[in-house]
Amino acid sequence: MQVRQPINKGARRSAREYVVCRQEDLPPGRMVIAPVGKFGVGVYNVHGILYAINNYCPHMGGPLCSGNVYGTNLWDDVRGRAEHVLDGRIARCPWHAWEIDVATGVSVADARKRTRTYDVRVENGEVVLTR
């Protein structure tokens, strides 16, 4: 199935590096899909910190990054109640709603399930992805 998100126009910088966009085009709370690899890579700005994960769900290979972004609910054993945490860091797959932490690529439910992460940084006002 195709990625329905408009693919951001970026530029290849070297064999290993890809310029995703200008820094101001990726404000906090936003995500762009860079046309890197077979499925694209989702680059997220979560409260000012950049993360990048493969747009490929570890479940059935759904377009992970084209779903909604949330926080999640975890049980706090000390307080003995559920807490809403990791706001803006959880990519929810548009197919079966698995929750993936974009900072680690790991599924919230089951740490054995994970998608690939990429290094991403800002350099001279540009968002640069290392593949």
Partner 1 sequence: MSTIEVSGSDRTRTKEVDVRWVDADVHPLPHPGDGFLGYAPDGWRDRLAPRGHEISGVSARILDQPEANKAPTGKVDSYSPRGGPACSDPQFAAQQLLVETGMDIGILLPMGRDHRNPDYEHALKTTVNNWLADIWLDQHNQHRRWRGSISVTNREPELAAREIERWAGHPMMVQVLMSPQRPAYAFGDPKLDPIYEAAARHRLPVATHLMANLPYENSIKPVGVGGHFSDYISAWGLILASHLMSLVFDGAFDRHPTLKVVFVEGGFLWVLPLMWRMDAIWEARRSELPWVKRRPSEYVRDQVYFTTQPLDDVDTREEIAFTRWLDMAANLIFATDYPHWTYDDPKWALRRLPKELHPRIQHENATELYGLPQTVPALPGA
Partner 2 sequence: MSGLLIDAAVQPFCRDGREIYDYMDEVNRDRGFPDVESQWYQAPGGDYDESLYGKGYPGSDPEIASRHLFEDDGVDVAILNPRTRGNLPDFQLNTAVCSASNRWLAHRWLDEGNPHGRFRGTIRVNPEDVPGSVAEIERWGDHPLMVQVGVPLQSRDLYGRPRFYPIWAAAAEAGLPICISTNGGAGLEYPPTPTGHARTYSQYIAFMAYNYVYHLLNILTEPLFKEVPGAVFVFSDGGAEQLTPFIWKLDTLWLGVRDQTPWVDRPPSEYLKDHVRLGFSRLDKPPGDSVPIVDWLAQTGKEDVVMYASNYPFWWRNHPDDLYEGTTKEQTEKVRWRNAGEVYRGVTAEAA
- Enumerate binding residues for partner 2 (CB under 8 A): 59, 72-75, 77, 80, 82, 96-99, 107-110
70 touches ligand FES (CB under 6 A) = no
- Which spans of this chain sit near partner 1 (rule: CB under 8 A)? 1-2, 4, 59-63, 66-68, 92, 94-97
Residue 34's CB is within 10 A of a number of other CB atoms, namely 25
For residues 91 to 110, the per-residue mask of contacts with ligand FES, x marking binding by CB under 6 A and - elsewhere, is --x-xx-x------------
| SS3 state at 6 | coil
Q: Which two tokens stand for residue 28?
A: 């906090």
Residue 4 interacts with, from partner 1, ligand FES, partner 2, none (CB under 5-8 Å by kind)? partner 1
Cβ-based nearer residue to partner 2, 47 or 81 = 81
32: phi then psi, degrees, rounded to nearest 5: -125, 150
Taking the C-alpha atoms of 42, 70, 86 and 65 in order, what is their torsion angle to the nearest 10 degrees? -10
Tell me the helices (H) and strands (E) count for the chain, helix number first.
0, 10
- In the complex, the residues that contact ligand FES under the rule CB under 6 A are 57, 59-60, 62, 64, 93, 95-96, 98
